[in-house]
Amino acid sequence: MSSLLEIKNLSIDLHADRERFNVINNINLTIEKRQKYGIVGESGSGKSLTSLSIMNLLPDALTISSGDIIFNGETDLTNLSKKDFLNIRGNEISMIFQEPMTALDPLYPIEHQIMEVLKFHGSYNKKQMKQLAVEMLEKVGIPRPHQLMKEYPHQLSGGMRQRIMIAIALICNPKLLIADEPTTALDVTIQAQILDLMNELTDTYDTSILMITHDLGVIAETCERVAVMYSGEIVEEADVATLFKNPTHPYTVGLLESVKTLGDKSNKLYSIPGNVPTPKQLTGGCRFASRCPHAMEICRNQAPPLFSIEADHRSKCWLYGEEEVVNG
């Protein structure tokens, strides 16, 4: 059985000031059917760009310079025509965005926005669409769905809107749901509810999730497999349990340490010194070398490949330089 989504050697370049800067460098990842996959990284690590490239929603200044994105074992999304993409978006692959406050068109009532997806994917009459929309709103846990259908986005809270975004994303029963920081803009109690809802619904619909977040807690709660991104590269990839128990890349270690745990008496938060290098600052070596506590001579001169630590656990660091993954 083939995987649902395979990203192979994906690189994305930024065109600015008549120059090209590499922003995503040679990413490989595979999402199996029904799998919940997480990408974690700080701002500017390229995690959102990766998700946008799957949907072909990259801003004009960014282009895929090499690599393939194979969907469902057969379709290469990187050279799909615009027309064919209309059929994929919202139907086969859906997306939830970070800001529920702005992700709904302020001028239309909720029913219009849910029914719009159905209008473009499938042949339903108005009554059927309305029926499906109400059922979907019930499934995402919205009370009095009939009344809510007539309301406008500004009348609803952030949590409600995110539920509606989930309803819109799942109503066509997509194979893959991309969630780009779906809970970042919500407060903590709502966050947990939304994550539970996403977990529950994707289980019933057999949908895979690609969860993009900077929050390791979200990863721990929802995902099975995780990739850690830093400066446009995947630096470590493992099962969630393995990653939390045995982080290998110095960046992952730093990331885990900067999470404040309950009962921690010290007042100071750990932070990784320095910032993510901008695309213009990149040199030949490991991209994390300037901030790494274990940086060696080789790190500054030569970029490490992904080394295999154990089965299904890979790390892009010279500290583990014994068994190189050929497909890295």
Partner 1 sequence: MKSFFERLRKDKVGLIGFLGIFIVILIGLLSPFIAPYSPEQMFTEHTMEGPSRQFIFGTDEFGRDIFSRIVYGTQVSLKVGIIAVGIGAGCGLIFGLISGYFQGKVDQVIMRIMDVFFAFPDILLALAIVAVLGPSLTNTMIAIGIVFTPVFTRTVRAAVIAVKENEYITSAVAIGVNPINIILKHITPNILAPFIVQITLALSGAILTEAALSFLGLGIQPPNPSWGVMLDASRTYMEFAPWTILFPAGAIVFTIFCFNLFGDSLRDILDPKMK
Write out the residues near partner 1 by the rule CB under 8 A: 55, 57, 60, 85-91, 94-95, 97-99, 102-107, 116-117, 120-121, 165, 168-169
Taking the least distance from each CB to partner 1, the nearer of 121 and 291 is: 121
CA atoms of 107 and 109, how far apart (whole Å): 7
Q: How far is the CB of 273 from partner 1 (least distance, A)?
A: 33
Taking the least distance from each CB to partner 1, the nearer of 177 and 243 is: 177
Checking phi first, is residue 46 left (phi over 0); if not, alpha (psi -120 to 50) or beta? Answer: left
Taking the least distance from each CB to partner 1, the nearer of 25 and 202 is: 202
Q: How far is the CB of 120 from partner 1 (least distance, A)?
A: 5
Taking the least distance from each CB to partner 1, the nearer of 60 and 297 is: 60
Q: How far is the CB of 91 from partner 1 (least distance, A)?
A: 6
Q: How far is the CB of 92 from partner 1 (least distance, A)?
A: 9
Q: How far is the CB of 254 from partner 1 (least distance, A)?
A: 31
By the 8 A CB rule, do 124 and 132 touch?
yes
Backbone angles phi, psi at 8, to 5 degrees: -120, 120
Q: Which is nearest to 145 in space by CA: 124, 122, 171, 125?
A: 171
CA atoms of 177 and 157, how far apart (whole Å): 23
Q: How far is the CB of 188 from partner 1 (least distance, A)?
A: 22
Taking the least distance from each CB to partner 1, the nearer of 120 and 270 is: 120
Task: Give how far Cα 289 sits from Cα of 9, 283, 299, Å.
Answer: 22, 10, 6
Taking the least distance from each CB to partner 1, the nearer of 51 and 242 is: 51
Checking phi first, is residue 302 left (phi over 0); if not, alpha (psi -120 to 50) or beta? Answer: beta
Strands 225-230 and 208-213: unpaired
SS3 201: helix
Rounded to an integer, what is the distance from CA 183 to the centroid of its chain? 12
